[in-house]
Amino acid sequence: MKGKKLFMLLSALSPEEFGLLGKAANSPLLNTNSRVAALYDYLHPFYPSFSGQGLEDGEVFSRLFPDEKYNDYKLRRLLSALSALVEQFLVYLEVRREESETPLLLIRAMGRRNLFGLFERKSLEVLEALESSPYRDLDYYRRKVEVFTNYYFHPFTDKRSIEPARLQDLVNDMDYRYALEMYRLGNELRNRERIFSEQYRLTGIDAMASQYGEGILSENPIFRTYRSLLLAYQDEKNPKLFKELKHNFVSHVDKMRRDDLSLLFQQLLNYTVRRINQGDSAYYREALSLYRMGLESDWLIDGGRMSEATFSNIVMVSCEEGAYEWAHDFMGKYESFLDEENREDTIAHCHSLWHYFQGQHDEALQILASHRFSGPFQPSSRMTAIRILFEQFFTDESYFSLLLSQVRAFEKFLSRDHSLSKDRSLLHKNTLSLLRRVAIAVSRREPLEEVKAWALAELEAGQAFILRNWLQERIRQLTD
């Protein structure tokens, strides 16, 4: 059927919302087209999958227009009309969900009508309520500036009655709103620079981090936390800056709303992961501490789901720290939060990692060999198997042929597969190349000190590698 967009919109509704949509379709306030209501009624049994017989274009048209010959244009218009109603309904749901938006909308409505007395009273009530709020974040400054500017610039407002201090507060609030927006954007762009190898000129934003400023710029915990994040980006190798950032975040969690908490928490995690990837193993402990905090505070689950990457990272980091029992309990407790489509792959790979980190190589390889991983999990599962074989080769050279065959097979896979980005694929290829050359050199009985020296030099030469910490550690063990 042609209604792909319509079905996407309808499937996004909860059962309660979908039922409420039926009332909207039959309300003359929102819909006066009886055919739209009839289309909703016809589609009702197909919710939420909207699949199966009865959804063919001709079948739907004949049910809604029983006395007419099929008209493609008329069917498309009807589908579009119901889509428009669903979109309007989604806006209504958002307004209902965002209770804090209701007073602002009411003020705007009163301001456009001959209701200045009510408009003035409601504006002052909202401003007073904002002042009593415990938060001084971007949302607070946006609302305060909007309400006060609407009030001040209303043609009936007696501007002579406005005290200069209130106007100065307005100017300050606009500055604070701008500063917070710049901090949030600046930190996000600095984060993108490291993920996507992009470059941005942030002269004004970086200048904001050079000094605290006065008043709220130094006293407000959200300003201070965003500023410490920006400073940490400017000198990521300085552990004092990370400690200051983490202290500011942890100390002021109760003064932040969900959006700031989620953004700053994710940035903290990204920071620790980057430091780990750059060879600083001390950040495994920091990452595990953050993940535990995120689990306790329910920051790692969104819409009843935990991402595969988050789940896998938690298992890996906890195993790196030797917290095997905790990792095992975590997997059992949280596996139901994984998306069903990727759940079996994620659990199989994480259990293989759990065995691997405890030195149970045969058990880990058995899981990797017996489970048929889907495409997205091929790189991680193949690389885990190669890690294990490389370590086994160190103690038993009979693994040499199997190791090389797995490396070559993975390299062929990477040359054919395009699901990984070029940068990510290059990380794997660099690691595979170095692993292969080290294994060949060892099998040829080349002096281990020389192999160790040139391999470590190559790791430090500027190329990027996947599993850099592990690779560096294993190469250093060549002469142990």
Between CA 373 and CA 378 the distance in angstroms is: 6
User: CB-side exposure of 290: number of CA atoms within 13 Å?
Assistant: 27
pLDDT value for 214: 52
pLDDT value for 100: 77
Say if residues 187 and 230 touch (Cβ distance below 8 Å). Answer: yes
Find where tokens 């040829």 sit: 444
Amino acid (one-letter) located at 117: G
Tens of pLDDT along the chain (480 residues) come to: 677 899 999 999 999 999 999 999 999 999 999 999 999 999 999 999 998 889 999 999 999 999 899 999 999 999 999 999 999 999 999 888 877 788 999 999 999 999 999 999 999 999 999 999 989 999 999 999 999 999 999 999 999 999 999 999 999 999 889 989 999 999 999 988 887 778 899 888 887 776 555 555 667 889 889 989 999 988 888 999 999 999 999 999 998 998 899 899 999 998 998 888 777 888 999 999 999 999 999 899 988 899 999 999 999 999 999 999 999 999 999 999 999 999 999 999 999 999 999 999 999 999 999 999 998 899 999 999 999 999 999 889 999 999 999 999 999 999 988 777 787 888 899 999 999 999 999 999 999 999 999 999 999 887 888 888 899 999 999 887
**Domain locations in the chain?**
4-97, 101-162, 301-371, 373-480
3-state secondary structure string, 56-116?
CHHHHHHHHCCCCCCCHHHHHHHHHHHHHHHHHHHHHHHHHHCCCHHHHHHHHHHHCCCCH
